[in-house]
Amino acid sequence: MRAKLSDVAKKAGVSPTTVSRVINNYGYISDKTRNKVHEAMKELNYQPNSLARSLHGKKTNLVGLIFPGVSNPFFGELVEEIENKLFEDGYKVILCNAAYNKEKERSYLRMLLANQVDGIIAGAHNLGIDEYQEFGLPIVSFDRSLSENVPIVSSDNYKGGVIATQELYDAGCRHIYFVGNPVQKGNPTDHRLSGYRDTIKKLGLTLHIHPVSFSETPMLKIMAIKQLLSEHKADGIVCTDDLTALLVIQAAQELGINIPEQLKITGFDGTKFIQQYHPELSTVVQPTKDIAALLVKLLERRIAHPDEDLKQKSYILPIRFIKSKTISDN
């Protein structure tokens, strides 16, 4: 099996970031540490990626943003907030739409490295991409764990799942379903589902989990949701995101199901777009502006101090809940 950068780090007794600095000749590294890394690379026959050996020159004031895409109002709003903050601080951005495609994300990573960006903010939801550990760039992540040395910023997805479920229960629901993207370990959906699952168990109710993939078209999603509503006696639905919640509303209306009398619904994200154009939706609100500000702050610190040890890996920001007409007419 081909040795990875993390294997070299373990063998040399240093962090993956230090190995990357040695490969890139970037930042101060003592001769002793440098020799240990080179010795470990030799013993493991480790061959650095050719792009990973690209030497960093002076700052380019470019930052790469890797997100699933901006057609989703939440990511569109978050990217806009990040870009505005970076521009205020003198940076330009290269925006990469990774969708839900691992190879596309890997290709964009290589492109960003070739363009010698000063750092990357990664918010796509593809998992298992080792290249983030291989490249010696300052990286900050939104909502997923990339490596031991990459800080993560997220909203409190678990608590959001708890609150949404409890709100439906308090409104009288006893057959509460969880509808949204299939669970992947490390994905925010997983934490929202955990909040739902724990609350349902605490309340003594039956779990009902109905996966609907983000990558499916709206038409296919509505077909799946209609099947759920037709075949099961759901009186409450916790949706993993607001767009799915809107499709549930549409499907229910087409089936003649009254909201909120027969079916109550919660979403997740609570963007300005949703609050303005769909104020009827009860939803968990993520603090988009605060998330963007913290992502930029952490990235700029890592750019300014590339050799600084990571003092805190995970930053979880509080959410809030908006109760509206999909739960109660009052």
Q: Could you count the other beta carbons within 10 Å of the beta carbon of residue 166?
A: 18
pLDDT tens sequence across 112-149: 887 889 999 999 877 667 677 666 789 999 998 887 88
Query: For residue 226, is it left (φ>0), alpha (ψ between -120 and 50) or beta?
Result: alpha
pLDDT at 128: 67
Q: pTM score, two decimals?
A: 0.81
- Given pLDDT bands bounded at 50, 70 and 90, which one contains residue 2? low
State the architecture of 155-285 in CATH terms: 3-Layer(aba) Sandwich (3.40)
* Residue 73 near residue 245 (C-beta atoms within 8 A): no
* Cis before 260? omega within 30: yes
Q: What average pLDDT does range 47-64 have in this prediction?
A: 66
pLDDT tens sequence across 68-103: 888 889 999 999 999 999 999 999 999 999 877 888
Reduce the DSSP state of residue 234 to 3 states and report it.
coil
Of residues 57 and 316, more confidence is placed in 316
pLDDT at 163: 99
* Residue 40 near residue 170 (C-beta atoms within 8 A): no
- Given pLDDT bands bounded at 50, 70 and 90, which one contains residue 27? low
Spell out the domain ranges in the chain.
3-43, 60-152+287-315, 155-285
pLDDT at 185: 66
Please name the residue that has the structure tokens 């890997």: 106
CA distances in angstroms from 246 to 218, 222, 280, listed in the order given: 10, 10, 10
What is the SS3 string spanning 16-59? HHHHHHHHHCCCCCCHHHHHHHHHHHHHHCCCCCCHHHCCCCCC
Cα dihedral 5/9/12/18 (nearest 10) = 100
One-letter amino acid at 92 equals K
Least confident of 103-107, 152-156, 275-279, 322-326: 103-107
pLDDT tens sequence across 216-266: 788 999 999 999 999 999 999 999 999 999 999 999 999 999 999 999 999
* Residue 167 near residue 158 (C-beta atoms within 8 A): no
- Given pLDDT bands bounded at 50, 70 and 90, which one contains residue 212? confident
CATH class of 3-43: mainly alpha
Q: What are phi and psi of 15, to 5 degrees?
A: -85, 155
Q: Which fold has domain 60-152+287-315?
A: Rossmann fold (3.40.50)
Identical fold for domains 3-43 and 155-285, yes or no, is: no
pLDDT at 22: 82
Query: Which two tokens mark 215?
Result: 């990558």
Of residues 206 and 29, more confidence is placed in 206
